[in-house]
Chain A
């Protein structure tokens, strides 16, 4: 590597991140090129100062907070707030779902309960109301007998109300 061509940014970074062997071309160039050497030294110094200042600041902050083992407490997890929020959301969602499911179920129950009594009465009557049924049958039989019995003579004209009219109509037609 000649003195005219300088180290690239990546080459400088590589030296910063992990210094190569002394015999490497990059290190050879650094020895020969004051510009690259100055650039690298400046970066190293800045980063070193930054590290030192940050470390001292952190130590100072920690000491100022009197953060000794006696003040180390079990923390309330920070994530509890969003977790609580989501738990509430889930609770609301499940309540809504339950309600939404309960409404049609209730309606369905009411509808079936309105229809339901008809079936059990039919089903239970033969067992529970046997004497009533016998009475009903006797009544129906009596009605049948009454209907099938011969019509009394005074009521004969009522049995066929059109009988007299049709004979009259026939006689009228004959006259015409």
Chain B
């Protein structure tokens, strides 16, 4: 079903929420604008393309169903990310055992991610070093606590500022900062170990 068709189908449903105009009235536009970002966040959080795709669709469906709750206090992107994050939490909580089993089976090879480094003109040596570092970072991020990982990804992949992260996660800004300090300390520690080993 096309996105437009989805939007038409959903709009044809009579509901009291449709009385007040929201940015989600043009669902097709919202999906087109935010889908890739939501998918990327879910993919980097879950590392499972199938699951990320399903949860991306679920994110937009939930956003549509609860559009009356959107008061415009935050941006649409922040609101959608909040929904996506709640879905990740729900999924990892309710399907905890299945989730980890699935992750272990379908885990993305960090080396595969490093292969996507956009350094077409770089020297082979520096590309190798960069690939090694990306691999290490990818592995390190997976060892972070779920909260630290989420905050790290929101900051360094989605480039959200601290107040936005605070709004998405519902964690105070200072706590967000503390989580980032700890996550970066962990990364630096492993990074320096790798550097020492390679010397």
Residues of A within 8 A of B (CB): 9-10, 12-13, 16-18, 42-43, 45-47, 49-62, 65, 67, 69-70, 72-75, 77-79, 82
Contact A61–B184 (Cβ < 8 Å): no
Contact B31–A69 (Cβ < 8 Å): yes
Closest to B156 in A: A47
Contact B177–A17 (Cβ < 8 Å): yes
Contact A17–B188 (Cβ < 8 Å): no
Q: Is B4 an interface residue (CB 8 A)?
A: yes
A10-B181, A13-B181, A17-B180 known; A55 and B157 CB under 8 Å? yes
The proximity string for B residues 25-36 relative to A, scoring 1 for CB distances below 8 Å and 0 otherwise, is 000100110011
A17-B162, A42-B191 known; A54 and B113 CB under 8 Å? yes
Partner of A58 from B39, B94, B161, B181 at Cβ < 8 Å: B39
Contact B6–A72 (Cβ < 8 Å): yes
Q: Chain A nearest CB: distance from B42 CB in Å?
A: 9
Contact B134–A50 (Cβ < 8 Å): yes
- A59 to B36: give the CA distance in the assembly, Å: 7
- A45 to B39: give the CA distance in the assembly, Å: 25
Residues of B within 8 A of A (CB): 1-4, 6, 9-10, 28, 31-32, 35-36, 39-40, 43-44, 49, 52-55, 57-58, 61, 87, 90-91, 94, 112-114, 116-118, 130, 133-134, 137-138, 141, 155-157, 159, 161-162, 177, 180-181, 184-185, 187-188, 191
Partner of B157 from A46, A51, A78 at Cβ < 8 Å: A51
- A58 to B48: give the CA distance in the assembly, Å: 11
Kindly list chain B residues whose C-beta atoms are within 8 Å of the C-beta of A82. 94
- A129 to B76: give the CA distance in the assembly, Å: 85
Q: What are 28 A-B residue pairs whose CB atoms fall within 8 Å in the complex?
A: A13-B180, A43-B187, A43-B188, A43-B191, A45-B130, A47-B137, A47-B156, A50-B138, A50-B157, A52-B118, A54-B40, A57-B43, A57-B112, A60-B116, A61-B52, A62-B40, A67-B53, A69-B28, A72-B2, A72-B3, A72-B35, A73-B1, A73-B57, A74-B10, A74-B57, A77-B58, A78-B90, A82-B94
Partner of B1 from A42, A54, A72 at Cβ < 8 Å: A72
A9-B184, A58-B40, A69-B31 known; A49 and B49 CB under 8 Å? no
Closest to B44 in A: A54
Closest to A60 in B: B116
Kindly list chain A residues whose C-beta atoms are within 8 Å of the C-beta of B58. 75, 77-78
- A130 to B31: give the CA distance in the assembly, Å: 88
Contact A49–B134 (Cβ < 8 Å): yes
Contact B134–A13 (Cβ < 8 Å): no
Q: Chain A nearest CB: distance from B81 CB in Å?
A: 14
A77-B58, A78-B55 known; A9 and B188 CB under 8 Å? yes
Kindly list chain A residues whose C-beta atoms are within 8 Å of the C-beta of B181. 9-10, 13
Kindly list chain A residues whose C-beta atoms are within 8 Å of the C-beta of B36. 58-59, 62
